[in-house]
Amino acid sequence: MNILTKKFSNPYNSAPFTQINNENFKPAIIELIEETKREIEAITNNQALPTFENTIEALEFSGQQLDRVTSIFFNLNSAETSDDIQKIAQEVSPILSEFGNDITLNAALFKRVKAIYYKKNNLKLTTEQQTLLDKKYKSFSRNGANLNEVDKARLREIDKKLAKLKLQFGENVLAETNKYELHLTNENDLSGLPEGAKEAAKQLAESKQKDGWLITLDYPSYIPFMTYADNRNLRQELSKAAGSKAFKNDDLDNQNIVLEIANLRFKRANLLGYKTHAHFVLEERMAETPKKVLEFLNELLEKAKPAAENEYKNLENFAKKTDKIDRLEKWDSAYYSEKLKQELFSLDDEQLKPYFKLENVIEGAFIVAKKLFGLQFEKINNIDKYHGDVLTYKVTDNNGDLVSIFYADFFPRKGKRNGAWMTSYKPQFIKDGKEERPHVSIVCNFTKPTKSKPSLLTFNEVTTLFHEFGHALHGMLAKTTYPSLSGTSVYWDFVELPSQVMENWCYEKEALELFAKHYETGEIIPMDLVNKIKESATFHEGLQTLRQISFGLLDMAWHAGESPETIKNVKAFENDAFKNTNLFPDVKENCMSTAFAHIFQGGYSSGYYSYKWAEVLDADAFDYFKQEGIFNKNIANKFKEHVLSKGGTENPMTLYKRFRGQEPKPEALLKRAGLTK
């Protein structure tokens, strides 16, 4: 019997990672698709008149084991992949895409859904039930249920191709990341690098039976080198290697894949009656239209660009004065920014890192969650892990009741993609009067411990941990009936609010004193360092904002413009999209789009603006906390009740106003960013 096809018997019904063989996945997915098809047939063949319960609810709770197995599989493909898993992903993705279309293009099923939708005003549904009904109806109408048979066949073909292309895109980027190594045997080439970074590079070389030091494109290796290495030629080499991922006209090149994905998305949107992919996506977002997104980004650009130009000019002058370089290049940015920051604020990450031992920062996130939301985190060892590095926790409330199971995976390795993300292995929902609690995971790529030092985080890594932990809290504190409306199942431009708001606690003395303790002496972080963190919080905020806006504009260029069929050259198209945001000289060997996984592999296509959009919400929300006290129980309870627990059960602006008492005002963001007086 295949272990994946039945309810798991592990503690807390957790995923049985150690008992799963890769060859279990494909047969289990195929078997569970057939089982789900039988559940769908039972709904469509029901002789009783369609009701909310026998159609909408029945559909919502169909395929639960299939959903669990596919979430385990695709999470492993991101965090612990292998050649075998990638091969299976290429095989099962088109099958799953086809099955998804089997449901949304099922005329008999849609007929039942439509019958309920058209009489919804007479059904006395709860708000959550109304939202679920709207969502189910739109999942059909927005995905081809109203098409004729010829167009339905075209849609199926497009969706199958897209499923494979997105996978291939990600595999190419990961292969490029793993392939590159900067192997150094002369210690002078490491001049400027902090001791911890040198030790990590040496340890990495030893692990691969090499002399000297190894620098890779994994962030904990790449970022310290770009920030501190004095050798400008080596910084240039490393920068070009990172910037040219999947842009080398070889087997791992993504240029044609990018063009094909953009084209297929455009054709799909047209087929469904939308002008562009962005028009299709944004119909289900707070921003609503491409016009509104572009207005939002351009308004921010107007505020940020003068500050960014000024910061760039000052940085270039500083670099020329310091090292007499002829012009500032992309590989100089982090290096001279760090030096200028040290000069202006007498602050650098190496001063801060001893106070941010990973274990202490994790504990700090837990204490903040306890003070705000009454959560307790207990490390447990009685559930399976997919890798030895993964930490597992049982999360309970003040009554000792289970809130969630929590997985945390912090270090880079070969089978793990770069970056940081939150995901779920089991949703929260209530069925037959019994509540199922969620299993939530965060995945990061932080600095590993070395022989002489524990994992000491940069301040940027500290805020990243709190960011992903904010997403995790959104998942953990879910309190809804239906799984598809639970936790982070919200509008994409609302999903970043809980994560981004949590970052704010990292800048507050009251919070830092709870966990920022020197890893050797136990000394609490000195006040002057806390003050410097706050003072430097808006350092180069103009440049950072311009960078985020540029990514949002590139995303919209790919997805909101004229037919992508007219695009012949990915690099030239990208340069045109960047023309109003580019300050650094272009690097001809580099291309952002070919490794822009957020929009070509992940779920952020036509949605990258969400980060800045949610910053308006988070600055406004934290301003509310600041007025009443950052650990104010009343405000925390309102945030938990109206935002974190409600998932996607109502319109996000309705939920936000219920928490805040008003719509968000951008002034709080501009003030925090130092872009307004």
Looking at the annotation, which residues are catalytic?
468
Handedness of CA 187, 188, 189, 191 (dihedral sign): positive
Nearest to 132 by CA among 31, 56, 25: 56
Q: Looking at 376-492, list the stretches that DSSP marks H as alpha helix, in order from N- to C-terminal side.
A: 459-476
Report the relative pairing of strands 213-215 and 429-431 from DSSP bridges. Answer: unpaired
- For residue 439, the one-letter residue type is H
Asked if residues 503 and 636 have their Cβ atoms less than 8 Å apart, the reply is no
Question: 409 — phi, psi (to 5°)?
Answer: -135, 110
Place of tokens 């945030």: 639
How far is it, in rounded angstroms, from Cα 387 to Cα 321? Answer: 49
Task: Assess contact for 393 and 378: CB atoms under 8 A.
Answer: yes
Q: Hey, which residues does 356 pair with through a beta bridge?
A: none
Q: What is the 3-state secondary structure (H, E, C) of 42-96?
A: HHHCCCCCCCHHHHHHHHHCCCHHHHHHHHHHHHHHHHCCCHHHHHHHHHHHHHH
Let me know: does 376 contact 361? Beta carbons within 8 Å.
no
The residue type at 585:
P
The residues with which 215 forms a beta bridge, in sequence order, are: 182
Q: 655, 646 in Cβ contact below 8 A?
A: yes
What are the beta bridge partners of residue 392? 407
Q: From residue 181, give the alpha-carbon distance in Å to each of 176, 210, 246, 358.
A: 10, 12, 15, 26
- Residue 530's closest CA among 548, 515, 547? 515
Radius of gyration, alpha carbons of the chain? 25
487 Rama sector, left if φ>0, alpha if ψ -120 to 50, beta otherwise: left
DSSP summary character for residue 148:
-
Q: Which residues lie below 8 Å from residue 195, measured CB to CB, with a gap of 6+?
A: none
620: Cβ contacts below 8 Å, ≥ 6 apart? 660, 664, 665, 668, 669
Two structure tokens written together for 273: 């009656």
E strands, 281-419, in order: 376-379, 391-396, 402-409
Q: Which residue has the tokens 């292995």?
A: 425
How far from chain centre, in Å, is Cα 83?
24
Q: Strand order of the sheet with strand 376-379? A: 376-379, 391-396, 402-409, 439-443, 421-426
d(CA 83, CA 81): 7
- Cα separation, 631 vs 629, in Å, equals 5
CB atoms within 10 A of CB 232: 14
Chain centroid to Cα 157, Å, comes to 28
Rounded Cα distance between 431 and 61, Å, is 8
